[in-house]
Structure 1
Amino acid sequence: MRKYKNQKELKKASEAKRYQLTRGSILLFAIILLQACQNLPEENTNGEQEHPNITKLKAQSAEFIPEIIKLNEKVYVAVGYDGSNASMVIGEQGVVIIDALRALGAAEKVAEEFRKISSKPVKALIYTHGHLDHTGGTSAFVGDNKNVKIIAREGFKDELEERSPVEPILKRRNARQFGRDLPAKDIINRGVAPGITSTDRAGKGYIEPNTLFKEAMSVTLAGLDFELHAADGETNDELFVWIPGLKTLFTGDNYYKSFPNLYAIRGSQYRDVKAWGESIQKMSTYHVEYLVPGHTRPLTGKSIVHRNLKNYATAILSVYQQTIDAMNEGYTLQQTVDKVRLSDSLLSQPNLQEFYGSVPWGVRSIFLHYVGWFDGNPTNLYPLSSSQLATHMIELAGGEETMFKQLNKAFTEGEYQWGLQLADYLLQTDYKKSTVTEVKIKLLRALAAQQINAPARNYYLSYSYELEKNIEL
């Protein structure tokens, strides 16, 4: 091992090593993005050409290369060590941690890397919101120090699945959305997080906040002035952190590099879409030089940051207003979903690709929030049961054998969604149950092979494996 003459030489060597790691990560990032932009399809394991959406989703994995990113002399962001980001802000009197990852094991690794950069004591830790992937590793950063301020909004964690009466089904759907039980060969990423994250003592480092605020809080921490603002969006306990002296903004999960997850298919309480857009609008009024999202890599540069926040707010509020307008014109739920579209200028933005959220899911959530399950069409007041509808549809088709032929035709011709619906009709009558289930599995995997949206892809694949196990039983 090389010996250094003094601390100055050692520090210089350490900085050079960090620079080399950063430069290598950026190079890998650039290569992956170049491949995506060229849309060079690969062959999948069946020898078939890879769908361009899968190529784009793979390129998104460059956002999660593990790295401690130095934004400026006082702000460092850990990306890719777990499912979310954790940040360290260095003040004269100590450091402030913003968000704490999910797994205690992953948090311990990041805390160790942070301590290599600064050995100053942790004076405060801020939770941007209550999701487990931002709160599970706190003890790795604060240790046994009871004097550390742990700050969050009032109502912190009130809406989480572990406090829900339907927690069992939420957990099952959560596992499907994130592909937690998928074999490694099927995993790409989670849209805004790596496909595989640490399970080492997940959530075991959580410490409850000891300082809460309602709307806004100005506070000096470690010698730096912080502004914390309530910002409803992905959760109703979300906040953003603004450090005016460093021109640095921490958005929590209200911003990341993907169209936002206005509705989570795992199941969640209503995410206030209008408030979410307005929260981003408010952030865009600050003179931000450095932007740190809850997931994906940070952004640097006033014009870049401003452009990303503005198009994000515009997209969210456009979906909201279009949905409201369609509802007031008397459109049914499905008609509203069919009508609402982002403009071409928004669709082309890199930070609005549907890697994680989906416009139709957001539309459905808004519609149901304002008027509930009834879409205004009297036909749907007392609809036929699933089995009654299946029986009539099969009869209309000319019998089960005819519908089964149509099912196979749908698969062969690439009409995968139509095939799923036909399969569900036949499964209601138990007609060739194992064979129809096998076709449904193929349809689910075919749809997954076309998906740019990671949660949808993971859900299709996870459900297909569940069906496969049931056939084996």
Structure 2
Amino acid sequence: MGHGPKQPSAATVEANRAAAARYALDDRSDFADADRDLIAPLPGRVLREDGLVLFDPRDFAFLAEDAPCPDSVNPSLWRQSQVLSKGGLYKVVDGVYQVRNNDIANLTVVEGEDGLVVVDCAGSVESARQGMALVREHVSDKPVAAVVYTHTHADHYGGVKGIVDPADVASGKVPILAPGTIASFDKFAISENVIAGTAMSRRASYAFGSLLDKNPLGHITCGIGIGLPAGFTLSYLSPTDPITETGTKRQLAGLEFEFLYAPDTEAPEEMHIWIPQLGALTCAENANHTLHNVQTLRGARTRDARNFARYLDETLQRWGDDVRVHYGTHTWPVWGNQQVTGFLEAQRDTYKYIHDQALRLANRGLTPLEAAEEIELPEELARTWSSRGYHGTLHHDVRAVFTKELGTWDGDPVSLNPHTPVDTARRLVAMVGTDAVLAEGRRAIEDADYRWAAQILHAAVFADPGNEEARALQADAYEQLGYQAEGPQWRGIYLSAAQELRDGISPATVVTASPDTIASMPIDTLFDYAAVHLNGPRAADADIRIAVNVTDATGANRPWHLWIRRGVLHARPGTSPDPQLTVTAAKELVAAVLLQPAGAAELARAGRIDLEGDTGVLDTYAALLDDFEPLFPIVTP
């Protein structure tokens, strides 16, 4: 059935034109700020070593500042995307420089007396290398004296091996500072991207629009950055200098850095950074030129909106009188004390309003969806560009507060034990008939009632995914919803759904469980990752006991023992009392044995691991593991 996207309907054209009246489109200050102090434009494409093009700024030429908003894009999202299309090396203030928009996240370099301090590393090795080459050419060729991770998300540490030599980190020559203990940072950075990585990658490919063509009918930007490079290299190096207390200070390259520890905010481990000599502040991802996610659509732990506000207020108390510039880890800086404090106050008030009003309505008995339909930001915040929903959305963030504070049940008994979507769809269609469902879907589309059309046609598709008319109609409804969405993740999800209904599943472009990430796992997280591959029903009667000796570069062993009983994989540090098999290997090869046990015999023959005991246990274990298919269906059963 496959064909390309359709044009916006007359109703969508009218909806987007009407939406423009809600926005302060005459406020062009962000365009000037995004252009301010450009040192050098991006040099061109970001390439992988094999020549694969990961990012090409020319793909976004359609977002030129003087280009009128097309009818297929919400005018607020069009404006944000035009600002984000500006990329290059910029001076923030003397001593602080940023490479913006060759990746979804920024690369920030602080020049000290005798070295460079890199604050976040972009999301890919390739983008980081391009960014550092710009810095070397136009700013300074001083050595990297330190790296700082602001939080545990991959787009902020993934480029680290494009910044520093791992040997310099291992030797202590270049410290890596990060919030939380080393074990905690490793745990959250790795587990979020690996243990649920297959599901997260599939969902992220929808939310970030990476399956869509880059044009006004497809992907615009990610709202918080230009986009995710496709096929990039994600690296990781563990931090070496943990920051666990607010007020901690470090001398780095001759400059004083002071930290505010802000856990359980936008990430499980996060921190704000103040450089008093420069009057420069970053609040990491707790303050951006967008409303952030309280719960991500790609899938991650639900965040605490109250903590966003709490730590932003503490930041204002500590440094609000002295701050001269705020440089973001995404988007563009804010200059001037009054402008920075106003920006941070608006971000603080937005998150606290969402938190407090969601719980007010919960205490009045409203369900999450009912509250999300009712809550609107006060006019002053609603017309503040940085409070608009370019990453999170107000509707979804309200529902996320319910999840964080009250759990996933919405309080309605009907949702305690509902039938599956497929069973529900089949019962509904059997009751009213396929023809009636399709007729109602067509009527809703003709009346521009796209939300209802998508909802009712969902039943027809799930009852019979081979019904081409149902798929085509639902794709049409999703597409118009995407064209009208202000939030780019909503747009990406709707348009990706329409494309998949028409053309089938496309290969994933976002892979968070990279080899470097898996190899960097703390050993307990590695066992957790293996455990989620265990097929519980198949393993219900299994009795497997494996001793695992994890070796390091010195030849020392860390003994662990793994056992499977009653369909559960457990692991503990220490020697095993009665192992059926003993595996001795370096950690990265332990990962290979746990996740691909069929290859263990070959590793043993090559002398890379040592196996003692009943090697047939590995065959039994292999038969109990599930493989994760990264292309599972979303819009069909």
Is the shorter-chain TM-score for this pair beyond 0.5, marking a shared fold?
yes
2:114 and 2:237 map into 1 onto residues whose CA distance is 23
Q: Which piece of structure 1 moves more, 351-360 or 55-64? A: 55-64
Q: Which piece of structure 1 moves more, 324-333 or 124-133? A: 324-333
1:231 aligns with 2:262: yes
1:200 and 1:163 map into 2 onto residues whose CA distance is 16
| 1:169 corresponds to which of 181, 187, 199 | 199
1:157 and 1:459 map into 2 onto residues whose CA distance is 30
1:459 aligns with 2:482: no
1:211 aligns with 2:241: yes
The residue that corresponds to 1:158 in the other structure is 187
1:343 and 1:162 map into 2 onto residues whose CA distance is 34
- Give the conservation status (yes or no) of the 8 Å contact 1:277–1:314: yes
Change (3 A) 1:157 1:33: farther
| 1:468 corresponds to which of 502, 509, 514 | 502
Q: Which has the larger radius of gyration?
A: 2
| 1:420 corresponds to which of 431, 451, 454 | 454
Question: For each residue in 1:282-338, what CA deviation from the matched residue of structure 2 results, as whole angstroms up to 9, or x when unmatched?
Answer: 222322111011110111111111111001100100000011111122222222222
Which amino acid letter does the alignment assign opposite residue 496 of structure 2? Answer: S
| 1:83 corresponds to which of 104, 114, 121 | 104
The residue that corresponds to 2:474 in the other structure is 440
Unaligned runs of 5+ in 1: 1-17, 23-30, 43-48
Question: For each residue in 1:406-435, what CA deviation from the matched residue of structure 2 results, as whole angstroms up to 9, or x when unmatched?
Answer: 100111111111001111122243287111
| 4+ residue runs over 4 A deviation | 18-22, 31-36, 160-164, 391-396
1:454 and 1:253 map into 2 onto residues whose CA distance is 18
- Give the conservation status (yes or no) of the 8 Å contact 1:104–1:200: no
The residue that corresponds to 2:393 in the other structure is 358
Question: For each residue in 1:129-183, what CA deviation from the matched residue of structure 2 results, as whole angstroms up to 9, or x when unmatched?
Answer: 1211111121222234340010111221533555554322111001111122222
Match runs of 1:58-73 below 5 Å? 58-73=79-94
2:433 and 2:38 map into 1 onto residues whose CA distance is 68
The residue that corresponds to 1:4 in the other structure is none
Change (3 A) 1:432 1:79: closer
Give the root-mean-square deviation of aligned CA atoms.
2.6
1:298 aligns with 2:333: yes
Which amino acid letter does the alignment assign opposite residue 401 of structure 1? Answer: D
- Give the conservation status (yes or no) of the 8 Å contact 1:64–1:79: no
1:165 and 1:207 map into 2 onto residues whose CA distance is 18
Which amino acid letter does the alignment assign opposite residue 148 of structure 1? Answer: V
2:144 and 2:40 map into 1 onto residues whose CA distance is 26
1:257 aligns with 2:286: no
The residue that corresponds to 1:5 in the other structure is none
- Give the conservation status (yes or no) of the 8 Å contact 1:284–1:309: yes
1:346 and 1:103 map into 2 onto residues whose CA distance is 34
The residue that corresponds to 1:145 in the other structure is 168
Match runs of 1:187-336 below 5 Å? 187-195=219-227, 197-199=228-230, 201-204=232-235, 206-216=236-246, 217-232=248-263, 233-285=265-317, 286=319, 287-336=322-371
The residue that corresponds to 2:32 in the other structure is none
2:390 and 2:212 map into 1 onto residues whose CA distance is 18
Q: Percent identity?
A: 24
What secondary structure is seen at the aligned counterpart in 2 of 1:245? coil
1:386 and 1:255 map into 2 onto residues whose CA distance is 38
Question: For each residue in 1:61-112, what CA deviation from the matched residue of structure 2 results, as whole angstroms up to 9, or x when unmatched?
Answer: 3234222111222111111121111111111122211000111111111111
What secondary structure is seen at the aligned counterpart in 2 of 1:456? helix
Question: For each residue in 1:187-221, what CA deviation from the matched residue of structure 2 results, as whole angstroms up to 9, or x when unmatched?
Answer: 210001113x44464213x3221111212321111
Change (3 A) 1:357 1:91: same
- Give the conservation status (yes or no) of the 8 Å contact 1:78–1:110: yes
Q: Post-superposition shift, 1:381?
A: 3.0
Which amino acid letter does the alignment assign opposite residue 322 of structure 1? Answer: Q
1:345 and 1:157 map into 2 onto residues whose CA distance is 40
| 2:209 corresponds to which of 179, 190, 208 | 179
- Give the conservation status (yes or no) of the 8 Å contact 1:94–1:121: yes
2:252 and 2:245 map into 1 onto residues whose CA distance is 19
The residue that corresponds to 2:145 in the other structure is 123
Change (3 A) 1:253 1:20: closer
- Give the conservation status (yes or no) of the 8 Å contact 2:80–2:223: no
- Give the conservation status (yes or no) of the 8 Å contact 1:103–1:200: no
1:454 and 1:69 map into 2 onto residues whose CA distance is 25
Q: Post-superposition shift, 1:259?
A: 1.3
1:317 and 1:410 map into 2 onto residues whose CA distance is 37
- Give the conservation status (yes or no) of the 8 Å contact 1:105–1:200: no
2:78 and 2:243 map into 1 onto residues whose CA distance is 38
- Give the conservation status (yes or no) of the 8 Å contact 1:249–1:290: yes
Which amino acid letter does the alignment assign opposite residue 335 of structure 2? Answer: T
The residue that corresponds to 1:134 in the other structure is 156
1:357 and 1:101 map into 2 onto residues whose CA distance is 20
Which amino acid letter does the alignment assign opposite residue 382 of structure 2? Answer: L
The residue that corresponds to 2:444 in the other structure is 410
Q: Which piece of structure 1 moves more, 241-250 or 108-117? A: 108-117
What secondary structure is seen at the aligned counterpart in 2 of 1:145? helix
- Give the conservation status (yes or no) of the 8 Å contact 2:39–2:89: no
- TM-score where L is the length of structure 2: 0.64
Which amino acid letter does the alignment assign opposite residue 185 of structure 2? Answer: F
What secondary structure is seen at the aligned counterpart in 2 of 1:297? coil
Unaligned runs of 5+ in 2: 1-36, 42-61, 507-632
Question: For each residue in 1:248-295, what CA deviation from the matched residue of structure 2 results, as whole angstroms up to 9, or x when unmatched?
Answer: 002211111111122211111011111111122222232211101111
Change (3 A) 1:457 1:163: closer
The residue that corresponds to 2:52 in the other structure is none
- Give the conservation status (yes or no) of the 8 Å contact 1:54–1:450: no
Q: Which piece of structure 1 moves more, 254-263 or 366-375? A: 366-375
What secondary structure is seen at the aligned counterpart in 2 of 1:403? helix
- Give the conservation status (yes or no) of the 8 Å contact 2:85–2:101: yes
Q: Which piece of structure 1 moves more, 108-117 or 460-469? A: 460-469
Size of the aligned set, in residue pairs, is 435
1:97 and 1:424 map into 2 onto residues whose CA distance is 48
- Give the conservation status (yes or no) of the 8 Å contact 1:61–1:194: no
Q: Post-superposition shift, 1:447?
A: 0.9
Q: Post-superposition shift, 1:378?
A: 2.8
Q: Post-superposition shift, 1:359?
A: 1.1
